[in-house]
């Protein structure tokens, strides 16, 4: 586990196995916010223990950015906490957990227990006393949401932004474009995604936006893509064709 401090009150926890994944914590004035819970209880208990060792002892609010398994399997470490998610995320976790757990069991890290979000929002929820906002940003998936640390101007975007290309799990590209353009309008100092290092500019957001626009208009020149990008693009085309199996 790698730990980085981001801004005046953020802690980024990163694991490289089975693939690079981030969990982001914000030490608010009244609450400790934890964005996503990775692949099981074990790594999240380790991260939470570190936060307690540095003196953070506040009520915990967990935020799940979307219903992909690698973003909520550690919920069991916070059974007594508020677990916040957009309503579509609750539905995905409820409906898909058994199937995705069977398919990806080899990725689990420690015990995995199904713990559903217990605080649901439709469009947004704001914690003004902490300067933290959560809001629906459909794109990578219909249920994707983001977290804005208003005090430090740091934006956590889940899997809506990813290198070299984003994975597209929804055919509604107009809302994805709107979400990415919304990020640019907010002009955060730092962007944190689910699987990339912290970004101090919006270059990857803009690159992802241009790619999604090209997918929408069927103008992706695959001859200019490297091998990894080609594989991601092929999967995205299966989504657009309705043949992708998740």
Q: What is the DSSP letter of 72?
A: T
Read off φ and ψ for residue 198, nearest 5 degrees.
-55, 145
Is 64 strand, coil or helix?
coil
Look at residue 243 in the predicted model and tell me its pLDDT.
Answer: 78
φ, ψ for residue 183 (rounded to 5)?
-60, -45
Query: Which tens digits make up the pLDDT trace of 152-203?
Result: 999 999 999 999 999 999 999 999 999 999 999 999 999 999 999 999 999 9
pLDDT digit string (tens) for 129-157? 999 999 999 999 999 999 999 999 999 99
- Provide the phi-psi class of 13: left if phi over 0, else alpha when psi is between -120 and 50, else beta: beta
- Name residue, tokens 């609450």: 31
- Which residue's structure tokens are 């091998």? 227
pLDDT in tens, 81-135: 999 999 999 999 999 999 999 999 999 999 999 999 999 999 999 999 999 999 9
What is the value of pTM for the model shown? Answer: 0.96
Q: Rounded CA gap, 201 and 219, in Å?
A: 26
pLDDT digits (tens, 9 = 90+) for 2-38: 999 999 999 999 999 999 999 999 999 999 999 999 9
DSSP one-letter string for 83-109? EEEEHHHHHHHHHHHHHHHHHHGGG--
Q: What is the pLDDT of residues 215-227, one digit of tens each?
A: 999 999 999 999 9
**Chain position carrying tokens 């898909």:** 96
What is the pLDDT, as a whole number, of residue 246? Answer: 54
């Amino acid at each position: 586990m790698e730990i980085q401090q981001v801004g005046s009150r953020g802690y980024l926890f990163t694991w490289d196995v089975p693939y690079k994944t981030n969990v982001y914590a914000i030490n608010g004035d009244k609450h400790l916010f934890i964005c996503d819970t990775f692949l099981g209880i074990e790594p999240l208990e380790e991260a939470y223990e570190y936060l307690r060792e540095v003196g953070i002892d506040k009520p915990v609010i967990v935020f799940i950015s979307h219903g992909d398994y690698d973003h909520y399997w550690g919920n069991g470490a916070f059974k007594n906490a508020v677990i916040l998610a957009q309503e579509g995320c609750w539905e995905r976790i409820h409906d898909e957990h058994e199937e995705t757990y069977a398919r990806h069991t080899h990725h689990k890290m420690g015990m995995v227990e199904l713990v559903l979000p217990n605080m649901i929002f439709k469009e947004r929820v704001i914690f003004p006393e902490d300067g933290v906002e959560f809001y629906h940003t459909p794109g990578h998936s219909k249920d994707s949401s983001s977290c804005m640390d208003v005090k430090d101007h740091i934006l956590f975007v889940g899997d809506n932004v990813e290198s070299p290309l984003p994975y597209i799990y929804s055919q509604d590209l107009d809302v994805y474009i709107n979400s990415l353009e919304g990020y640019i309008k907010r002009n955060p100092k730092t962007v944190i995604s689910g699987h990339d290092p912290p970004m101090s500019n919006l270059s990857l957001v803009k690159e992802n936006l241009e790619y999604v626009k090209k997918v929408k208009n069927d103008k992706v020149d695959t001859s200019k893509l490297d091998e990894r990008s080609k594989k991601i693009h092929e999967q995205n085309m299966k989504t657009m064709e309705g043949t992708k199996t998740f």
